[in-house]
Amino acid sequence: MIRIFKVKEKQRAESALGTTHVKKQSAGELRLHKDIGELNLPKCCNVAFPNGKDDLMNFEFTIQPDEGYYVGGTFLFSFQVPPVYPHEPPKVKCKTKVYHPNIDLEGNVCLNILREDWKPVLNVNTVIYGLFHLFMQPNHEDPLNHEAAEVLRDNPKLFESNVRRAMSGGYVGGTHFLRCI
């Protein structure tokens, strides 16, 4: 017990003198650290921290679907987690230009748990599985890219052809997509 008190006294003294270099973590950072430690990713998903482990609040997520329309593609997402997480959802952007009914050409993602259905009991793992699900089963009923949604709804074969063309680095409509296969 005495050692514990001495450690605490030393920490207080260092803090008072300004010699301590320990960054105080926000509640959001603590929760995110816990969530990341408990990640259970599908085998076709990967998380990376381009700014190093000191910046957990900004990270990237890659999905490489192994089935569905987008099989063989590689799609990169950025996550920006607000300091008030989990009371607000992370900001997620798709960095790969993709022909998808639920992702617009600027990378905005239409996923209900990132908007009106977000609750503090949800976590990063839930968001990743939501994104994974969007690639397995695109939703034409709640689109951001209305043209892609209409094609998916009315002509799934043409939609599949458009996805392949876009992922191969071609044009769909008047829009050029970079190769992501």
Supply the residues annotated as catalytic.
110
Q: What secondary structure letter does DSSP report for 68?
A: S
Residues 71 and 64: their CA atoms lie apart, in Å, by: 7
Structure tokens at 92: 């997620």
Q: Cβ–Cβ contacts within 10 Å for residue 102, how many?
A: 26
Q: How far apart are CA 50 and CA 17, in angstroms?
A: 33
Q: Between 27-37 and 124-136, two packed helices, what is the crossing angle to 10 degrees?
A: 50
What six digits make up the tokens of 88? 């607000």
Structure token digits, residue 72: 């063989």
70 closest CA partner among 50, 45, 93: 45
Report d(CA 129, CA 54) in Å as an integer. 25
Count of other CB atoms within 10 angstroms of residue 78: 16
